[in-house]
Amino acid sequence: MTSKILEKAQATHKLTKAEIVKLLSLKETSALFETANQVRREFVGDGVYLRGLIEFSNYCKNNCLYCGIRAGNSHVKRYRLTPQEIVQTAQKASSYGYKTIVLQSGEDGWFDTDTLCDIVRQIKNLDVAITLSIGEKTHEEYAAYRQAGADRYLLRIETTDKTLYEKLDPGLSWENRVRCLYDLKELGYEVGSGSLVGLPGQSIESLADDLLFFQKLPVDMAGIGPFIPHPQTPLADQSADGHFELALKMMAVMRLLLPDINIPATTAMETLHPQGRLLALQAGANVVMPNATDTQYRSFYELYPGKICLGDNAEKCRHCIEGKIQSIGRHIAPGKGFHGDYKKENV
């Protein structure tokens, strides 16, 4: 039965919701991971794209119940890099060989549109691709960042279960999050989305809906993060048991459904398993986003406990990941790694 579903997925890249649920419920996962690995190799090759992640502010006006930097967490030491520091950090990251810079923050109103556009323009001079991950904005704001040179945008849907989403992200509307994703698509961004896996009240059926949602959009990139409970949030008492395994299955099925997109091996996966990112790279992933934030700020961007590489610096992270990638017979892909680049380079 499983092998039939995997054969169908490999041949057509289409599955019904019931078939996806079946794959996500598997106890014996080696055939699923091996098939996802084959599809990854066929459609995006053995290269791994690196994206240098700069966490430039942990101020956030939102209060997502799962998130360590939510506005309501008064224990967090808040920090905000100046525009000049952000550009300098990007310069350093570029000098370590990163061809994509990801700028991520909480929803911090201090950065108005002009300030953000100015930062984007300055970083763009480094000849890098720019990804923004700064939350829900208006169409006008997204258009301005795009005009300034932003290439990609990451906004996880977190869950397609509207009721669950609005319970866990109080004050936010699920429809508005979807509106953001379609606005970004319409403006010509490469759109990245993704889910949190293991949220309290989240069903396997709703995870299957997430995958069908990504396929419908369709996304250019999607990151699957296991939910890791943070002790200073209302979800402190939840467990993370089984979240890594389920997130890996989600990621593998996503590779089958969207064979040529960019899929990161997420940092949260390595927090739950010492080999998390390497296992993910062997089950469908082709991207890693090493931390390029200055060491002094890293511990304050604590979305969840146990985040890896907190005491390391950007240069060390860059070299460390290269060694790990080579240890599984893969290599760092050259270039900026836009969706479809591999195909273009290999026709």
Residues that bind ligand FES (CB under 6 A): 60, 62, 64, 67, 69-70, 106-107
CB of 226 to ligand SAM, least distance (A): 7
As given in the structure block, the two tokens for residue 288 are 């890693």
Q: Which does 57 bind (CB under 5 to 8 A by kind): ligand FES, ligand SAM, none?
A: none
| 302 vs 341 by CB, closer to ligand FES | 302
Binding mask 150-169 for ligand SAM (x = CB under 6 A): -----xx-x-----------
165, 168, 170, 175 alpha-carbon torsion, rounded to 10°: -10
304 contributes a contact to ligand SAM by CB under 6 A: yes
253, 258, 259, 260 alpha-carbon torsion, rounded to 10°: -140
Count of residues interacting with ligand SAM (CB under 6 A): 19
Question: Which residues are registered as beta bridge partners of 102?
Answer: 53, 131
CB of 271 to ligand SAM, least distance (A): 8
Binding mask 182-221 for ligand SAM (x = CB under 6 A): --------------x-------------------------
Say how many C-beta atoms besides its own lie within 10 A of residue 326's C-beta.
12
| 85 vs 107 by CB, closer to ligand FES | 107
C-beta of residue 221 within 8 angstroms of C-beta of residue 264: yes
Say how many C-beta atoms besides its own lie within 10 A of residue 243's C-beta.
22
3-state secondary structure of 103: strand
Which bin fits 130, alpha (ψ -120 to 50), beta or left (φ > 0)? beta
CB of 57 to ligand SAM, least distance (A): 10
| 60 vs 251 by CB, closer to ligand FES | 60
In 38-56, which positions are buried (b, 16+ CB within 10 angstroms) versus exposed (e)?
ebbeebbbebbbbbbbbbb
| Residues that bind ligand SAM in the complex, under the rule CB under 6 A | 66-67, 104, 106-107, 133-135, 155-156, 158, 196, 225, 227-228, 230, 268, 303-304
